Amino acid sequence: MRRSIVAANWKLNGSLEMAKSLVTAIDAHSNGLAGVDAVICPPFPYLSYVGGLMSAGNMCLGAQSVADQQSGAFTGEVSAEMVAEMGCRYAIVGHSERREYYGETDAIVAAKFLRIQTAGLIPILCVGESLEQREQGMMQDTIVRQVSAVVTEAGIANMKNAVLAYEPIWAIGTGKTASPEQAQEVHAIIRSEITKHSADVAEGLRILYGGSVKANNAAELFSQPDIDGGLIGGASLDAEQFNAIVAAGSSK
Residue 9's domain comprises 4-250
Span 10-64, pLDDT tens digits? 999 999 999 999 999 999 999 889 999 999 999 999 999 999 999 999 999 999 9
In whole numbers, what is the pLDDT of the chain averaged over residues? Answer: 96
| SS3 (DSSP) at 198 | coil
The residue from 97, 104, 129, 167 that is catalytic is 167
Q: How wide is the angle at C-alpha 52 spanned by C-alphas 46 and 55, nearest 5°?
A: 130
Residue predicted with more confidence, 190 or 173: 190
Which pLDDT value is given to residue 5? Answer: 98
Confidence of residue 165 (pLDDT cuts 50, 70, 90): very high
pLDDT band, very low/low/confident/very high, at 173 (cuts 50, 70, 90): confident
Question: Which are the contacts of 160, defined by CB distance < 8 A and separation ≥ 6?
Answer: 201, 204, 205
**Known catalytic membership, residue 167:** yes
Indicate if 95 belongs to the active site. Answer: yes
Average pLDDT of span 140-161: 97
d(CA 252, CA 199): 22
Query: Percent of the chain having pLDDT more than 90?
Result: 92
Using CA atoms of 173, 43, 160, 139 in order, give the dihedral in degrees to the nearest 10.
20
CATH number of the domain enclosing 64: 3.20.20.70
Cα atoms in the Cβ-side hemisphere of radius 13 Å centred on 52: 7
Instruction: Label the pairing between strands 90-93 and 36-41.
Output: unpaired
Contacts of 98 (CB under 8 A, 6+ apart): 65, 104
Q: What is the pLDDT of residues 75-109, one digit of tens each?
A: 999 999 999 999 999 999 999 999 999 999 999 99
Q: Are 240 and 215 within 8 A, CB to CB?
A: yes
Half-sphere exposure of 143 (CA within 13 A, CB side): 26
What pLDDT, on the 0 to 100 scale, is given for residue 207?
A: 98
Residue pLDDT, tens place only, 175-188: 777 899 999 999 99
Number of domains composing the chain? 1
Q: What is the pLDDT at residue 87?
A: 97
Whether the pLDDT of residue 251 is over 90: the answer is: no
C-alpha 46, offset from chain centre: 18
The model's pTM is 0.96
* C-alpha dihedral (238, 97, 121, 72), degrees to nearest 10: -130
* pLDDT band of 1, cuts 50, 70, 90: confident
**pLDDT-based confidence at 172, cuts 50/70/90?**
confident
Looking at residue 93, its pLDDT comes to 98
Chain centroid to CA 126 = 6
- Residue 1: CB partners within 8 Å, gap ≥ 6? none
Annotated catalytic residue within 29, 95, 104, 187: 95
Query: Using one digit for the tens of pLDDT, what is the confidence trace for 225-237?
Result: 999 999 999 999 9
pLDDT digits (tens, 9 = 90+) for 196-223: 999 999 999 999 999 889 999 999 999 9
Residues paired with residue 93 on neighbouring β-strands, in sequence order = 125
pLDDT for the residue 6: 98
